[in-house]
């Protein structure tokens, strides 16, 4: 049975997670370390990085990938309005976009940003997402790839050398510490960590016209060498707080939350852009034993907004929700029968953690 963090509810099944001798996960250890971190020194690092790329007003200084959600909005707002940068914001349109997400993106742009929407070939996107669903257990693998590869293509085409993503999930939520002390990472890191080493496999299985694949392929070594890029996370330079990001995005960028809690969790203010996110977190639950509510509860515990007992109760109540409300959308998008769809889910279930009861996977473990 999995080990739970003694402070939050992170599980030992999470890839690349480690625990210290107190039973605390590396995300909680990092939470403690941040209280003693010299953020002033990191602000100086940020100033040097921004000055390196700051232009004279005739071009963009940096690129910020955004969805209209809280985190990208927060980063773009700070770069433009606090640090005086001229960011180009880029959205890779997600498959099965939700109306709230589309409205939030319009609100964000209207709040005063230069913005480009990128729409990779929809047939290629569907094919790559279907392969990712079957072969990687990632239902939006093509989109996950494009929010990195297409953004880099845009940066090169516009002659921009700096890309700011939001938080470093590996450091903030428990994973590799490779970027804990260095802000810049590269395409190989993206392939190894964010794409879980499946880039060549998924693209190799995609038997589709090369003319549809341009925004899904990373630039080659020659292009990357000729166009030097600094790719980084905002969370390296400032103590990351998703709830603060939400408040700033709501006040300055027009962010709206959902009327009710999102599928599989108790929060309503994040990941409102696409229907496939609910399937992604359900598959995460089947593979590792923790879902969206667990993720959100761990964040709230670390930021001191709830205690562990409250987190346990919420995770027991919400985690592991099967997104029945989107099922017809999924079957149509993947062109699958319900039986074919279920067989893909079954392939990725951790059977040490789950058993099937009345057609649904139920946990053998107790959240504690």
Segment 281-296, tens digit of pLDDT:
999 999 999 999 999 9
Of 140, 157, 152, nearest in space to 218 by CA = 152
Residue 56 has pLDDT above 60, yes or no: no
Assign residue 196 a region (left: φ > 0; alpha: ψ between -120 and 50; beta: otherwise).
Answer: left
pLDDT in tens, 326-361: 999 999 999 999 999 999 999 999 999 999 998 889
pLDDT in tens, 29-40: 999 999 999 999
Of 164, 150, 143, nearest in space to 232 by CA = 164
Residue 252 has pLDDT above 70, yes or no: yes
Residue 206 has pLDDT above 70, yes or no: yes
> Judging by DSSP bridges, how do beta strands 360-363 and 87-92 pair with one another?
unpaired
Read off the pTM. 0.95
Q: In the prediction, which pLDDT does 262 show?
A: 87
Q: In the prediction, which pLDDT does 328 show?
A: 97
Q: How far apart are alpha carbons 288 and 283 in whole angstroms?
A: 8
Stretch 207-220: mean pLDDT: 94
Decide if 91 contacts 147 (C-beta within 8 A). Answer: no
CA atoms within 13 A on the CB side of 38: 5
Average pLDDT of the residues of the chain: 95
Q: In the prediction, which pLDDT does 99 show?
A: 95
- Domain coordinates of the chain in residue numbers? 39-236, 259-363
Q: How far apart are alpha carbons 121 and 146 in whole angstroms?
A: 11
Q: In the prediction, which pLDDT does 359 show?
A: 82
Neighbouring-strand partners of residue 163: 63, 231
Residue 272's pLDDT band (boundaries 50, 70, 90)?
Answer: confident
CATH number of 39-236: 3.40.50
Residue reference for tokens 């700033």: 248
Q: In the prediction, which pLDDT does 43 show?
A: 97
Q: In the prediction, which pLDDT does 326 show?
A: 96
Stretch 245-265: mean pLDDT: 93
Q: In the prediction, which pLDDT does 263 show?
A: 84
Q: How far apart are alpha carbons 333 and 342 in whole angstroms?
A: 15
Residue reference for tokens 């940020």: 46
Stretch 192-208: mean pLDDT: 94
Residue 58's pLDDT band (boundaries 50, 70, 90)?
Answer: low
Dihedral angle sign, alpha carbons of residues 220, 216, 74, 284: negative
């Amino acid at each position: 049975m999995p080990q739970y963090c003694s402070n939050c509810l992170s599980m030992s099944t999470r890839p690349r997670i480690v625990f210290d001798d107190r039973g605390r996960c590396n995300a909680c250890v990092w939470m403690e370390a941040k209280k003693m971190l010299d953020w002033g020194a990191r602000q100086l690092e940020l100033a040097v990085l921004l000055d390196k790329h700051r232009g004279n007003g005739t071009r963009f200084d940096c690129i910020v990938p955004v969805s209209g959600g809280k985190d990208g909005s927060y980063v773009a707002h700070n770069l433009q309005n606090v640090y005086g940068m001229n960011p180009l914001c880029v959205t890779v349109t997600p498959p099965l976009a939700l109306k709230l997400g589309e409205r939030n993106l319009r609100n964000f742009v209207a709040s005063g940003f230069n913005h480009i929407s990128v729409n990779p070939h929809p047939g290629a996107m569907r094919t790559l997402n279907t392969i990712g669903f079957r072969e990687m257990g990632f239902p939006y693998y093509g989109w996950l790839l494009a929010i990195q590869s297409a953004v880099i293509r845009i940066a090169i085409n516009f002659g921009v050398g700096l890309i700011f993503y939001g938080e470093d999930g590996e450091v903030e939520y428990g994973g590799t510490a490779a970027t804990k002390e260095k802000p810049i990472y590269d395409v190989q890191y993206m392939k190894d960590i964010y794409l879980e080493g499946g880039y060549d496999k998924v693209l190799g299985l995609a038997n589709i016209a090369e003319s549809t694949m341009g925004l899904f392929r990373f630039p080659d070594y020659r292009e990357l060498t000729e166009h030097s890029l600094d790719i980084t996370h905002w969370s390296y330079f400032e103590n990351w707080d998703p709830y603060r990001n939400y408040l700033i995005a709501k006040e300055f960028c027009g962010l709206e939350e959902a009327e009710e809690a999102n599928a599989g969790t108790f929060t309503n203010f994040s990941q409102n852009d696409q229907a496939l996110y609910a399937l992604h977190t359900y598959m995460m639950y089947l593979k590792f034993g923790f879902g969206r509510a667990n993720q959100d509860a761990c964040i709230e515990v670390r930021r001191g907004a709830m205690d562990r007992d409250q987190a346990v109760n919420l995770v027991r109540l919400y985690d592991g929700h099967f997104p029945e409300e989107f099922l017809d959308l999924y079957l149509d998008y993947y062109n699958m029968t319900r039986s074919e769809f279920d067989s893909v889910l079954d392939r990725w279930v951790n059977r040490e953690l789950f058993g099937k009861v009345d057609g649904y996977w139920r946990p053998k473990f107790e959240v504690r």
